[in-house]
Structures are given as C-alpha cells and as structure tokens.
Structure 1
Amino acid sequence: MQGVANKPVVLVTAADLAPEALAMLSGFEVVFAGKQPGEDDIVALCMRHKPVAIIVRYGKINARIMDAAENLQVISKHGSGIDVIDQAAAVARGIAVRAAVGANAPAVAEHAWALILACAKAVPQLDARMRAGHWDKSTHKSIELNGRTLGLVGLGSIGRRVAAAGIAFGMNVIAFDPYAKEAPAGVKLVALDDLYAASDVVSLHCPLTDENRNMIDAAALARIKRGAILVNTARGGLIDENALVDALSSGELRAAGLDSFAVEPKPHPHPFDGIGNVILSPHIGGVSDAAYVAMGTAAAANVLAVLEAHAGSGV
C-alpha cells in the first residue's frame, strides 16, 4: 500500500509536524503515528504503509521496525540525538540515518542556562517558600556566577552557545571535547579530570555513546568540585542516577538541573522526586516555537536529500 494517489509514504513518529516541513513533503503522503507511539504501533504502520522514510520525533527505531518497512531508505531524526536509532542495524540494511544537527541548538542552550540560573539562585525553592508564607531574605544566600568556572563537556553547536553566555556572565569557561580541534575565544580546552576539579558548574553537551554511558558515576562525582552544580540537557544515560541522588543528598553537589533521564518518560515515583536540590524538566530543552520549525524543516530536508540521491543513482 503506497498511500494516497500512490504517493510514497513518510512516517512521522508523532502526532504533528511543522507546517513548513509538511509543505516540503507535499510530494509524499505523511502518516502520523500518534502522540506516544510504541514499537508495536510503529511496526503495524510500517507494515501497512511501507514508508520510504521515517521522521523520528518520539520513541526508538530498532531492527524490527526497519524490517517491517521494506521500502525504507532513510531514518531522519527530528533533532540531533540519533542514539534512539539502531545505527548498526540501519547500516546493515543500507538505510541512511540523518540528524537535524544544530536545529535546536539555541533552544537547548537557553534551557541549559535556565537550569544553571535556577540552581544557582534557587528560584523554584524560593518560589515554593514564598507561596508557603516565608520571607527568607535574612537567611538565603545564592551563588554568584561572575568569576566562577563553567565546565562544558562537549563543545558542539549547543556547547558553544552555552560558553558564549558564560563568558557574558563573567565566568571562566573551560571545556572537554576530544573531537574539538580548537575552542572559541575565551574558552580553554582541558582534560576531563581537570574540568571536574576546577568547575563550579558542569554542563553536559555531548551525545550518548557506548563509551560514555554513565560517565557521571560515583567515581566521577567524587572528582567534581564539592558544592558544584551539575546540569544535563543532553542524554539521561550519561549520568548514573543513583550515584547522583547520593551526591545531592550528601551535599557533595550543591544542586543539579536535569532535562533528560535514563528512562523516559521519567518513572514515578522516582528517587529524584524527594530530592529538594534537583530541578527537573521533561526533556523539553529543544522544544521551542522556533526549534519546532527548524527541526521539522531540517528533518524533511534530510529525507528529501537522501531520496533524491537514491533516485539519481538509480537505487
């Protein structure tokens, strides 16, 4: 089944896509999988519609899904994190995998700073205290970031934006990125252990790989400067969550701001729920009005580029 008027099908693992992206895909039938599609839902749609492309917004794409989509040529991520796609399985089947690199960088960088500032200034906690009738002016002391050190793990398009804001705040900015050949003005590349030891704020901006999974474990947390703030707007799998709970509870870390989690949606109840010095958001760092359009159009452009290349080569 090839869809309306025999148009090839693009399957979107979500309930919507930016109108600008849909306009780019006018030559295709776009099928939506729903708000939170499961693996079985996506498999059923692939078997029914035989899509030539999948745009991944929610959920994971594994070998079973790929095998259910016999015409599949490209899997395009609505965002930059392709760890939700089984890349080895895609390579084995000759399916291209593409990411909308940098499309949500402004939004994620802004959210990282929202979490950094909320942690440093205890904004949610003070708001809750005010609503409960307290006036903590004589007892509360926030952290002043001017003159402190910001350590960035990852210096891609998001990390560089976070660095620029850190410099504007008067912070000393250091970064660890084994793939960076140079750093922007005002940023110093350092070894990871040196970054942990020196940073008052550690912010994660790296992809999740088999090599760095749980890189922030108990041993790493012990090396991070006591009283530091840890922020993660990258991937939840970078942090050993049980070790982080211990570090926050003991005061080893002053606070943490988390936008991603090892299991998503975050289970409830969860040990984080009872920790007062962790600020949580539901992986929405890259979800903004502008990013929604930028990620959608970039994902659509990647689909079109791969399909046109295949058509030109006779594949």
Structure 2
Amino acid sequence: MPMSAGKPTVLVTEPLNESSLEYLQEHSKLIRVPCERIDEAIADADGLVVRTYTQVNEELLAKAPKLKVVGRAGVALENIDLPACRAHRVQVVHMPEANTLAVVDYTIRMIIEMNRRFWPMKGWMSGEDFHAVRKQTFGRFLVDATLGIVGCGRIGSRVGRAAAGLGMRVLYNDILDIRVDYPAEAVDKKTLYAASDIVTIHVPLDDTTRRFIDAAALAKFKDGAQFINAARGPCVDYHALAEALRSGKLSAAAIDCHHPEPPPKDYPLFGLDNVILTPHVAARVPKAIQNMSDVVFDVIAVLQGKTPKFPAQQET
C-alpha cells in the first residue's frame, strides 16, 4: 500500500482481526512482518502492535528511533519492558479487560469438569449399557467445596462471584486490599492453600509470582485438592505439580497456560490421567479476540496526539 502523506507507519508482527487491520490501513501505513523478522522494519515504525511472542526490550527499542507507541493486543505485559519503553519515551497501551469473561467461563467450566462426570449418549445404547452407565457415580456437590482464589483482580473477583453464586465457600488472597460485594473471605496464602478444595490462580507474571506454585507451596495444599492455572505458565513449577498429581497430594488439575509454549515432548504433565491440558485457549472466544485486537484504536490515538483509554503505565 503506498504511503499517504502524513500517515504514520504501524508495524504489526502477530495476528489481528481483519476489522482491526482495516482500521490500521485506513489510518496508517500498515506493515506486517512475522516477529522473527521485526528487525527488517522496526527502524521506520511509529507504532508497533504485538501479542504474546514479540519481545519489546532495550535491544529492539535501540533500533526504533521513531517509535512512539507499542500496543499489546491482549492483557499481559511480560513480553514488554515497560521501564525501557519509558526511558525511550515510548507509550505502551494494552487491553486489560479484553478476555476477562472468557477466562472466567473457562475457570468455572474446569471447576465443574473436575468435580462432575457426564457420559454423553451419542447414539443407541443397549439396555445393559444404558443402566451400567446410570449406576456410575462421581464427584461432589460444589456447594460443599471451598474455592481458593490467588489474585482477586478483574478475573479472580468475577470467578469468586460465580463460585459464590453456585454456593461455594470462597477464600481469596491478593497483594492489594481487595473488597468484594459477595460472600468471601480474604486470607493469607497459607490459610488459603490449607483450606481450599480447589485453588485457582489469576495473577500477573512478575518476580513475586514466577514459579510461586512450587513444591513448597504445593506441600501446603489440602490433601486431595485440585488446581487450575489459566493465568501465566511460568507461575508454576510443572515438575513439582506433576509429582503432586502422581503422589495423590493433588487429585486433579486443569492447566491452560504452560511453560514453555508449546510444551516439549517430555512435558511432565503429559500422560497423567488426572490432569486436563488445553493449549492456551481460555481466551479464544471471538468477542474476546476482537476486544484484544481493538488495541489499534489506542495506538492510533497516541499517534494522533490523543489520550489512550488503556495506558499500561497507569495500571496497578
């Protein structure tokens, strides 16, 4: 596309929805390159739109003298060096609310999946087979279970509300003094781990949460507890988790976020019957994907000298 006079150059290195790409084409000179070839085009970029795998660090920023804004089409910012961006006077914007409801739905589904069994009837069954299935029992009432939530922000707080609506006892832990508008109790991690039948984490990745679910933490869990990670892969020591699942310390786990991604062939969770593994798909709802791609509106706003709706530097 030939560059129109006055239009900024925006570089996109990972997939976006078509409507968002069309918006960029209308308001900028759009250049698309895969993240592994970003060096070929970054020098001319006024704006950069990334998702999960493009690393925005000092090395890249040093090659981007014109760069004014980086848009993260998503929530997490661990692939973007915020201090380095500030030092280079590059604004960072993202979409912190984009996938909240999708991840809440996923988490509640996994709570139910680990605690109930449903035997689909895909066609005709003999009377013997039909009644054999009906005689099976599995699981428990969720109203009898305690859910422990580590990280009670946008996602964690909504998971808690849904769980409370199902009659579950809800415990939560957060680094901030969070107050919720439903029955729930704020406790320390030690109390949460020991009292919860199910522990779900909803935290960002930083120095305090990297591998914080390790062997020492898992040893504090209630015997037979279940664990869900739809937050960040590096928050968990998966070798320790696999051992806890094999030993029976944990009865089940549901894991959507892995480290690394994709997991290697010798991933310690492969082959375990009491774990549900999904390939980082909790947010893959069409509306959520569009929400994430909508970061382009803030990217263009910054390039037009306007105030963006979701500046990352103001996130706490």
SS of equivalent residue, structure 1 residue 244: helix
TM-score (norm 1): 0.86
Cα gap change, 1:184/1:21 in structure 2, threshold over 3 Å: closer, same or farther? farther
SS of equivalent residue, structure 1 residue 90: helix
* Matched-pair contact (CA < 8 Å) for 2:46–2:67: yes
Alpha-carbon distance in structure 2 between the residues aligned to 1:3 and 1:92: 32
Structure 1 position 18, deviation (Å): 4.4
> Where does residue 17 of structure 1 map in the other structure?
17
> Where does residue 141 of structure 2 map in the other structure?
144
* Aligned: 1:201 with 2:237: no
Structure 1 position 209, deviation (Å): 0.5
Summarize the alignment of residues 208-223 of structure 1 with structure 2, pairs less than 5 Å apart.
208-223=205-220
Alpha-carbon distance in structure 1 between the residues aligned to 2:136 and 2:287: 40
* Aligned: 1:154 with 2:151: yes
Count of residues in Structure 1 that have an aligned counterpart in Structure 2: 297
> Where does residue 62 of structure 1 map in the other structure?
57
Structure 1 position 121, deviation (Å): 2.4
Cα gap change, 1:114/1:33 in structure 2, threshold over 3 Å: closer, same or farther? farther
Cα gap change, 1:148/1:116 in structure 2, threshold over 3 Å: closer, same or farther? same
> Where does residue 120 of structure 1 map in the other structure?
115
Cα gap change, 1:248/1:137 in structure 2, threshold over 3 Å: closer, same or farther? farther
Alpha-carbon distance in structure 1 between the residues aligned to 2:71 and 2:246: 40
Summarize the alignment of residues 85-234 of structure 1 with structure 2, pairs less than 5 Å apart.
85-121=80-116, 138=135, 140-234=137-231
Summarize the alignment of residues 280-299 of structure 1 with structure 2, pairs less than 5 Å apart.
280-297=277-294, 299=295
Moved over 6 A (4+): none
> Where does residue 46 of structure 2 map in the other structure?
52
SS of equivalent residue, structure 2 residue 92: strand
Q: Which has the higher helix share?
A: 1
Alpha-carbon distance in structure 2 between the residues aligned to 1:270 and 1:136: 33
> Where does residue 306 of structure 1 map in the other structure?
302
* Matched-pair contact (CA < 8 Å) for 2:148–2:192: yes
> Where does residue 260 of structure 1 map in the other structure?
257
Q: Which amino acid aligns with 1:51?
A: A
Summarize the alignment of residues 69-84 of structure 1 with structure 2, pairs less than 5 Å apart.
69-84=64-79
- Segments of 5+ residues of structure 1 without an aligned counterpart are 128-132
Alpha-carbon distance in structure 1 between the residues aligned to 2:58 and 2:115: 43
Alpha-carbon distance in structure 2 between the residues aligned to 1:4 and 1:237: 41
Structure 1 position 3, deviation (Å): 6.1
* Matched-pair contact (CA < 8 Å) for 1:12–1:57: no
Structure 1 position 306, deviation (Å): 2.7
- Segments of 5+ residues of structure 2 without an aligned counterpart are 121-128, 308-316
Structure 1 position 250, deviation (Å): 0.6
Alpha-carbon distance in structure 2 between the residues aligned to 1:266 and 1:305: 37
* Matched-pair contact (CA < 8 Å) for 2:215–2:240: yes
Q: Which amino acid aligns with 1:65?
A: L
Q: Which amino acid aligns with 1:57?
A: R
* Matched-pair contact (CA < 8 Å) for 2:24–2:30: no
The Cα offsets for residues 179-217 of structure 1, whole Å up to 9 and x where unpaired, read as 244222212211111111111111111101012211100
Structure 1 position 261, deviation (Å): 1.1
> Where does residue 27 of structure 1 map in the other structure?
27
TM-score (norm 2): 0.86
Structure 1 position 263, deviation (Å): 0.9
Cα gap change, 1:148/1:155 in structure 2, threshold over 3 Å: closer, same or farther? same
Alpha-carbon distance in structure 2 between the residues aligned to 1:33 and 1:180: 43
* Matched-pair contact (CA < 8 Å) for 1:120–1:229: no
* Matched-pair contact (CA < 8 Å) for 1:217–1:244: yes
Alpha-carbon distance in structure 2 between the residues aligned to 1:211 and 1:301: 32
Structure 1 position 304, deviation (Å): 2.9
* Matched-pair contact (CA < 8 Å) for 1:57–1:78: yes
Of 189-198 and 268-277, more deviation after overlay is shown by 268-277
